[in-house]
Structure 1
Amino acid sequence: MPVDSGGHWACRLLHPRSVAIVGASARAGSLAAQALANLRDFGYGGRILPVNAKYGELDGLLCYPSLDAAPGPVDLALILVPAAAVPGAIDDCVRAGVGTAVVFSSGFGELGAEGLEVQRLMAEAARAGGVRLLGPNCQGLIYRPAGLVATFSEAAQAGLGDSSGIAYVGQSGAIGGSFLGLARERGIGLTAWASSGNQADLGVADLAAGFLEEDEIRVVAMYLEAIPPGAQWRQLTARARQLGKNLVVLRSGRSDAGRRAAASHTGAMIGPDTAFELVSAEHGVIGVTDVDQLLDTVVELAARKPVRGPGVTVVTSSGGAGGIAADWLDGAGLQTGELAAETRREIAKFIPAYGSTSNPVDVTAQLFAQDDDSVFHVCRTILDDPGTDVLMMIMTNVTGARAARVARQLVAAAESSPKPLGVAWLADGNQITEATKILREHHVPLHDSIGRKAHVWARLYRAHTARSPVRPAPLTGVVPGTGVLTEAAGAPLLDALGVPRPEGVLVTSAEEAAEAAARLGGRVVLKAQSPAITHKSEVGGVRVGVTDAASAYREMVDAVHAARPDAVLDGILVQRMVPPGIELLVGVEGAADGYPPVVTVGFGGVTAEVYQDVVTALAPLSSPDARELLTRLRGAPLLRGYRGRPGADVDAVAAAVSALSRYAAGLGDRLAELEINPLIAHPNGVSAADLVLRFTD
């Protein structure tokens, strides 16, 4: 599904000159009746065309027996007929030249293979006839600038609030309806809203792309049950960054249980998670893990004040709350720095002597009891401090009329500064009703949790500071090979890439093993070589420090044949022993589904799966970026040297990682996987002590 942002379908979907309701009904409480009522009640100004042969008139509107009979052009058709009648309705849309069709009906892909096939044929017929399809099994869409409320969702019936520039699109209509209502409760009236359902044609990413091109929309919140194809996601996220707009993404199916639930819900298949996450992070996409976080994030973004730095100044009447905030902020990767001396002198004029001007700033309860503008002046002074990027106000036992007075001062301070000011109010919501209303009306972000406040700012800061690396050119022209390459067969590749390896000889007899060992220094390593065996140590296929190579050869052949009688041995690789060092692993998963290859670096050897100290990045990587990747390992201090132990040649490690990543990028989806485990890092240089290389060809 290519991104068709701002294309003809998006214009006809979001700005329809006419809307036909196929399956219109006079039955009170029916979905079709509610869809018609929503169009009229929310001020849609285009032509509304009810279609149902049973009626001549509906709610004062002429009702047409078929789409063919309705006056054209029809930009948007809302289809609310039983599943069995939907394919025929799509055929009618094609004949009538309808631009887009929203299929509300369920009973397709979510029911299994048979329904999925009907859904596929229906979508193919629509596309072949020039009709773009939203759904089936969806709840429609809302676009406020066009007065379009084309949904039967009950969430819309309670009102939509003031338009905020925030859009929502997701596969689940139920999640979408909840988000619409919860956002309104928190003072955020959505500008656009859409439910994509089974995504037979238009999906979440398509709709998000269309929303991004609308001037009235600056934030798109997304709920995904399936990862979009890589080319589409990369284009969408890059476009959002180019436009200076935010994507906020909640995705289910991140765990095995979640994937099963998603599949049973919409037939969705979860794709390459790591590549998706890395592409998202590079383009500043804000990832969240539940609906609360999605709401928290859009509430912050509605204030239109980016978090440009990590410095948070905490103001509170409770020393305990200040300490809790400092812990949360530090854990989230933010900082509570020291205020400038001038700032501290100024706010000391308003704070009792038993308070504190250090960050966290303890203004004491007395500040909030004063009937003056002290709260405003303290906040305004702190916002002017050069070390303050964000101000967190933590309110505790401030309620009633006093809370409302403080809220007005907080609004005034927030509106006087380009920096974010947010409030964590720890009180019974029933006692701060007016204060809550004041803050939400003026888009001063309010939370009832210090931790949630800290983490939403951390997400915004990471997104604001995200940078796409300057990537080196992929390596091309290196013969890729086919199937699985053993370490011996892959040796020429490592040589071509400039990745050092131990000298070795592939032998096929005990006598050859003894001769090779003598030439390589006497004490050697033996490794079984078979495309069918990737974990040699598990089948007795590795011997280290061998002095009797002939006997070791015979024993290894017997052990491997006993463990894997089906495996054909190419021979035994006899290698020169390399000096000890720090064992790392370098792995690359090949490009898949339009996503780039993913590079994984970590501490390796036989315990790699136990410690799982790994970091990932997208290929290709430059040597400086590979070096930076290494610094993110938990065990990175070991690479620099630790307690008298020598460090590693990090430059050599980075050069090897970069070369392998460029090779993988050059192969694209022809590479399935590449792994060196271990890559032994010495004080001077590296040695690739093993290699697994598998191609998709």
Structure 2
Amino acid sequence: MERQSLQSLISPRSVAVIGASDDVKRIGGRPLRYMREAGFAGKIYPVNPKRETVQGLKAYASVLDLPEVPDTAILAVPAAVTLAAVTECVEKGIPSAIVFSAGFSEAGAEGEALQAEIAAVARAGGMRLLGPNCLGVMNPALGYYGTFSVVLDGEFLAPGPVGIVSQSGAYGSHIAHLVRARGLGISQWITTGNEMDISLAEALDHVVAQPETRVVMAYAEGIGNGDRFRAALERARAANKAVVFMKTGRTEVGARAAASHTASLAGSDDVFDAVLRQYGAYRAMTTAEQIDIAYAAAGGVFPVGNKAGIFTMSGGFGIQLADDFTAAGLDVAPMPDAAQAELKALLPYASPVNPVDATAQAVSDMSILTAFVQSMMDKGGYDMFSAILGTGPASESFSKPLREALMAGFAGHDRSIRGLTMSAPRTVVADYEADGFLVYEDGGALAKSFGALAAFADAFARNDPQPTPGTPMDLPQGRMSEATAKTVLRTAGVRFADEALVRTGSEAAQEATRIGFPVVLKICSPDIAHKTEIGGVVLNLTDAAAVRQATDEMLDRVRKAAPDAEIEGVLVSAMLSGGVETIVGVHDDPSFGPVVMFGLGGVFVEVLKDVTFRVAPFGISEAHRMIREIKGHALLEGVRGAPPADVDALAQLLSQVSMFAAANRSRIAGIDLNPVRVMPRGQGVIALDALIELKEGEPS
């Protein structure tokens, strides 16, 4: 039903334009003009009580006077009369509408209240709303332009494989222009603005579902419905459709600006970044990068691996591109020895390794160029190929023979990923593109695009089973002590050091003897979060007498320092050494719910912020990818003679914590396991401390 309503909004057979204007330069005049000039085949009903006709079409005084119920309505009216217009649309039974005007939630409390009232009226009447504060939608294949964007003043958009969804109408228009300039067409274009109803996540899901869409360019300042957003990304990944994202608000200043723009919830930028990695989408850092990668993915062809071959007629350019490819995570593997020998025999002063440099001789003898390219494709085993052509294709006498020689080298490799760095007029570039080449002026842009294609291919190939969170626990009421938190987390599969909760020094000495020395003592209270600050931790106790004395002194000291705290007793724990110290945590993200954090402990998390995130729940394969993302992951592999850590057990722990957090998302605000010692391979993972924070006001 949801998708059906979006269908009426984006692929309508009839449209009412409320506030339609005879002036084609006004907001109410532009969509009418665009649809008429683009040859929209559906019916258009201008609504304007002051005119009998608008732009040559019969006008109606009210939506209620229309001869039929249109599929959708465009509301080109001021904010003050939008509520009345939506009310009439609901009364008419119109299934969807676009609200252009601004002045709602982004403008303050009064505007926010009006937006909420309009949304409530539409929801009660079963009508879907796009906007407000948006530029509407475009469906070039139908000639439907429900927008007032000036990007259409000079030229309409061609139908094609690129879908665009954007919270910002201006940004959406800008990238639509750039896509058009790159020679690509657009499947559907949706701008969501303040998202009083239809969200970017829902728009993304709809555009991905269109068979003509091969790649989606998206722009967001914040995500309101994280679960829906993740489902849309997963739909794209499962369908082998690339999503290239521009997300602003990377800094605190940017996040504040985002909130003032479309009143979006910016959320944690690090978490958003992790969500894109988790679901195989690509985050572009610049608009140029976003366009470059969407251009590369628009063909819907992706490599089977990341081996990249470079053909050049200039050694300097080849070295530069090799650096760029390596930085993009590609494998610039050398040609096989036998193939190198053959190419050396053909051209003794060539460099046939990789980059494969045929020197300027290939310009004089195109058969050499063909032979070198053919050898790279037949014997190099490259998943991606790039040639550096410079300004050569700009020459009228050189461009066609060069292209033909290249194509001869590709015989039998029709679905290869092949790119060129060259500079030439657009008409010449289009000829190379027609032969299947991706053309860039800059080698760095080509390298990033190839790297993105390889990353997409890797994500598409994943076949990880989606884990089931399980049944929620009946969690205790109120704050939890460390002992209670550990009892709860043991049910989730978390392993802790051998320990016991005691109430006296004598009990502590007895338990320490059982556990084995040395031991650590920790005060146990749901009311004391920072134990060390009040002398609630004693380390490295090596005999029973020391344990007995330290326990009695700690209890006396803590009772004086925190007389109102509930003291459950003292935890006597084995004091472990060895392994790699890490940290595992969970926090409740406002957009995505429970998010698991992982990093190395100590200075790595405190100073270097070397951590990564995943939205819960996730499986063991995703946990392994998560572990490999931190910069210090090499420490887990064993350095300077240290044995490799038990990374498999660590991945198991991360997945188990994620499933526990997801199952109990309505109650848990946070989990902190710090430190977590990852012991040598085969010895498992042991958490030394635990904290669970519950949400306030939630029932058990």
CA contact (8 A) 2:11 2:142 kept: yes
3-state DSSP of counterpart to 2:497: coil
- For 1:689, the equivalent position in structure 2 comes to 688
- CA 1:229 to 1:628, structure 2 compared with 1: closer, same or farther past 3 Å? closer
Deviation at 1:237? 2.2
CA contact (8 A) 2:131 2:192 kept: yes
Q: Choose 654-663 or 461-470, whichever is displaced more.
A: 654-663
Distance, in Å, in 2 between the alignment partners of 1:456 and 1:254 is 22
CA contact (8 A) 1:391 1:422 kept: yes
- For 1:584, the equivalent position in structure 2 comes to 581
Equivalence map 1:293-304=2 (5 Å): 293-304=289-300
2:677 is aligned, of 656, 676, 680, to 680
- For 1:436, the equivalent position in structure 2 comes to 429
CA contact (8 A) 1:229 1:593 kept: no
- CA 1:348 to 1:497, structure 2 compared with 1: closer, same or farther past 3 Å? same
Deviation at 1:532? 4.0
- CA 1:245 to 1:630, structure 2 compared with 1: closer, same or farther past 3 Å? closer
Which letter does structure 2 place at the counterpart of 1:490?
A
- For 1:601, the equivalent position in structure 2 comes to 598
Q: Which consecutive residues of structure 2, in runs of 5 or more, have no partner in the other structure?
A: none
- CA 1:394 to 1:101, structure 2 compared with 1: closer, same or farther past 3 Å? same
Equivalence map 1:445-484=2 (5 Å): 445-466=438-459, 467-471=462-466, 473-474=468-469, 476=471, 478-484=473-479
- For 1:395, the equivalent position in structure 2 comes to 389
Q: Choose 154-163 or 355-364, whichever is displaced more.
A: 154-163
- CA 1:383 to 1:582, structure 2 compared with 1: closer, same or farther past 3 Å? same
Which letter does structure 2 place at the counterpart of 1:145?
A
Deviation at 1:380? 4.8
Distance, in Å, in 1 between the alignment partners of 2:50 and 2:473 is 69
Distance, in Å, in 2 between the alignment partners of 1:561 and 1:362 is 78
Distance, in Å, in 2 between the alignment partners of 1:680 and 1:40 is 68
3-state DSSP of counterpart to 1:484: coil
- CA 1:124 to 1:629, structure 2 compared with 1: closer, same or farther past 3 Å? closer
CA contact (8 A) 2:159 2:186 kept: yes
- CA 1:572 to 1:605, structure 2 compared with 1: closer, same or farther past 3 Å? farther
Give CA-to-partner distance per residue, 1:471-492, whole Å, 9 cap, x none. 5554547543234322222343
- CA 1:486 to 1:410, structure 2 compared with 1: closer, same or farther past 3 Å? farther
- For 1:164, the equivalent position in structure 2 comes to 160
Give CA-to-partner distance per residue, 1:371-410, whole Å, 9 cap, x none. x566556445533446111111223353433563367448
Which letter does structure 1 place at the counterpart of 2:690?
L
1:524 is aligned, of 519, 524, 549, to 519
Q: Choose 641-650 or 236-245, whichever is displaced more.
A: 641-650
- For 2:20, the equivalent position in structure 1 comes to 24
Distance, in Å, in 2 between the alignment partners of 1:668 and 1:52 is 50
Distance, in Å, in 2 between the alignment partners of 1:681 and 1:663 is 20
Deviation at 1:295? 0.5
1:93 is aligned, of 78, 89, 108, to 89
3-state DSSP of counterpart to 2:665: helix
Q: Choose 302-311 or 467-476, whichever is displaced more.
A: 467-476
Structure-1-length-normalised TM-score: 0.88
CA contact (8 A) 1:75 1:100 kept: yes
CA contact (8 A) 2:503 2:568 kept: yes
Alignment of 1:270 onto 2:266: yes
Deviation at 1:152? 1.6
Distance, in Å, in 1 between the alignment partners of 2:6 and 2:64 is 23
Give CA-to-partner distance per residue, 1:280-310, whole Å, 9 cap, x none. 4344323323211220112112233212210
- CA 1:155 to 1:440, structure 2 compared with 1: closer, same or farther past 3 Å? farther
CA contact (8 A) 2:502 2:572 kept: no
Which letter does structure 1 place at the counterpart of 2:221?
E
Equivalence map 1:178-197=2 (5 Å): 178-197=174-193
Q: Which consecutive residues of structure 1, in runs of 5 or more, have no partner in the other structure?
A: none
CA contact (8 A) 1:140 1:151 kept: yes
3-state DSSP of counterpart to 1:158: coil
1:207 is aligned, of 203, 215, 228, to 203
Equivalence map 1:146-545=2 (5 Å): 146-160=142-156, 162-271=158-267, 273=269, 276-340=272-336, 344=340, 352-368=347-363, 372=366, 375=369, 378-385=372-379, 387-398=381-392, 399-401=394-396, 404-405=399-400, 408-409=403-404, 412=407, 417-425=414-422, 432=425, 434-439=427-432, 444-466=437-459, 467-471=462-466, 473-474=468-469, 476=471, 478-497=473-492, 499-507=494-502, 523-545=518-540
Distance, in Å, in 2 between the alignment partners of 1:165 and 1:652 is 43
3-state DSSP of counterpart to 2:360: helix
CA contact (8 A) 2:214 2:297 kept: no
Distance, in Å, in 1 between the alignment partners of 2:619 and 2:223 is 28
Distance, in Å, in 1 between the alignment partners of 2:604 and 2:503 is 30
Distance, in Å, in 1 between the alignment partners of 2:492 and 2:8 is 52
CA contact (8 A) 2:95 2:126 kept: yes
Equivalence map 1:552-567=2 (5 Å): 552-553=550-551, 556=554
CA contact (8 A) 2:225 2:592 kept: yes
Give CA-to-partner distance per residue, 1:528-577, whole Å, 9 cap, x none. 33334434335543221136346645765687679x75972525524243
Which letter does structure 2 place at the counterpart of 1:669?
S
Give CA-to-partner distance per residue, 1:40-95, whole Å, 9 cap, x none. 11111112221111111222211111112222121121111222111111112112
- CA 1:69 to 1:397, structure 2 compared with 1: closer, same or farther past 3 Å? closer
Q: How many residues align?
A: 686
- CA 1:117 to 1:442, structure 2 compared with 1: closer, same or farther past 3 Å? farther
Distance, in Å, in 1 between the alignment partners of 2:255 and 2:300 is 35
CA contact (8 A) 2:464 2:621 kept: no
Structure-2-length-normalised TM-score: 0.88
Alignment of 1:664 onto 2:664: no
CA contact (8 A) 2:588 2:670 kept: no
Deviation at 1:265? 0.4
3-state DSSP of counterpart to 1:391: strand
3-state DSSP of counterpart to 1:304: coil
Alignment of 1:66 onto 2:28: no
Distance, in Å, in 2 between the alignment partners of 1:205 and 1:607 is 34
Give CA-to-partner distance per residue, 1:78-137, whole Å, 9 cap, x none. 111222111111112112222221111111122112111111111221222232111111
3-state DSSP of counterpart to 1:364: coil
CA contact (8 A) 1:383 1:390 kept: no
Identity %: 32
- For 2:139, the equivalent position in structure 1 comes to 143
3-state DSSP of counterpart to 1:527: strand
Give CA-to-partner distance per residue, 1:162-220, whole Å, 9 cap, x none. 42221111011111111111111111122322222111111222222222333332222
CA contact (8 A) 1:676 1:690 kept: yes
Deviation at 1:14? 2.5
Distance, in Å, in 1 between the alignment partners of 2:168 and 2:287 is 12
Distance, in Å, in 1 between the alignment partners of 2:351 and 2:603 is 53
CA contact (8 A) 1:170 1:196 kept: yes
